[in-house]
Amino acid sequence: MTIGRRGFLRGAVAGGALTPLLAGAAAPAGATAASGAPSGGRGGRAVFRWLGTSGWRVDMPGRSSVLVDPFLTRFTTGLFDPDREFDPGTALTVDASAVDEHTADIGDGGVVLVTHSHWDHFSDVPHIATTTGARIVGTLTTYHLAQAMGVPVGQVAPVRGGEVLDFDGCVVEVVSSRHSRNADHSVAFAGVRVEVPREPATIADLPEGDTLAFQVTPPSGPSVFFMGASDFAEREVAGLAPDVAMVALPATSSTYEYVPRLLEALDRPGTVVPVHWDHFERELVNPPVDGTGKGMGVAEFTALVRRVSPGSRVVVPEYLTSYTF
């Protein structure tokens, strides 16, 4: 079977043209566009910038930054191309200039949170860690893969869910989570690494390796729930009640009532931000191009959120735009 576009997640070829997200799909209510990163002192509001896919940068006044799933190289695998097959043998590459442009200044105490080890969440992370000294927080698989890709063991913190970590006043709650299911109810590149493997060379060398979510609360708030894949376990998120939820859009309907169940489990956050809906093999240029194909698009997601959680406001992000919530 030919796998194209996001058939990697769907288990089938997705059709239809990719088009830029139409302005007005959801009003950016509940968020304020900031003029830049916070500066001066250690008070003030945190600033959030979407790096595409499920990636974020969180800047806090007077503190080092937190990154979540930063993927900035955005190389071609055939995933979104209807005229070629998806190639699991695609070589891993890092565009150092693109990555450094958005991460080199995160600070000596920078932290990188990794939800899982697929290439579009992890492949740039070892470069960031080795060039900035940032600490990586992720699964045991991420722990082993990072070492295989040159990160000193002392810079990688393995977690499994349930940990509550303090990074200079920024609290990170680690949540055991689940990866999205494709149309066959399976997971692409499933597997774990229980020891340091040989250095990964292709995207297939980076398995899912279990999945986490993170709730990040800067000293001045708000509490923000980050996920990198469109599934979860109610019992693991119960009681989190974040102010903001960064919600990965589902590529299939294999997970029962994913969005309604998630919003209820999170106690209907005041602000909901869709992520992992963009064409992540295109340049990081606004407006983002919709890469959902036959999966749930932003407009459908927005309508569903408004129906099941009418008190929530939907903010559709643009790349590298600074937001305060």
Please give the pLDDT value at position 31.
66
Distance CA 72, CA 58 (A): 16
- pLDDT, one tens digit per residue, over 177-217 is 999 888 889 888 999 999 999 999 999 999 999 999 999 99
Please give the pLDDT value at position 131.
97
Q: Give yes or no for a contact between 276 and 9, defined as CB atoms under 8 angstroms apart.
A: no
Q: 137 burial class (0-12, 13-18, 19+ CB within 10 angstroms)? A: buried
Instruction: Show Cβ contacts of residue 250 under 8 Å, excluding neighbours closer than 6 positions.
Output: 180, 230, 258, 259, 295, 296
In the chain, the number of structural domains is 1
> Is 234 contained in some domain?
yes
> Is 39 contained in some domain?
no
> Is 17 contained in some domain?
no
> Is 30 contained in some domain?
no
Torsion of CA 292, 293, 298, 300, to 10 degrees: -130
- The pTM of the full predicted model, rounded to 2 decimals, is 0.89
The runs of H, that is alpha helices, within 40-139 are: 96-103, 119-122, 125-132
> Is 23 contained in some domain?
no
Distance CA 73, CA 94 (A): 6
> Is 22 contained in some domain?
no
Low-confidence ranges of the chain (pLDDT < 50): 1-30, 35-39
> Is 215 contained in some domain?
yes
Please give the pLDDT value at position 168.
95
Please give the pLDDT value at position 32.
67
Q: Which domain holds residue 128?
A: 7-11+44-317
Q: Which residues pair with 20 in a beta bridge?
A: 289
CA 322 to chain centre: 16
- pLDDT, one tens digit per residue, over 79-123 is 998 888 999 999 999 999 999 999 999 998 999 999 999 999 999
Please give the pLDDT value at position 82.
86
> Is 198 contained in some domain?
yes
CATH number at residue 189: 3.60.15.10
Please give the pLDDT value at position 2.
40
User: Token pair 């295109």 is at which residue?
Assistant: 282
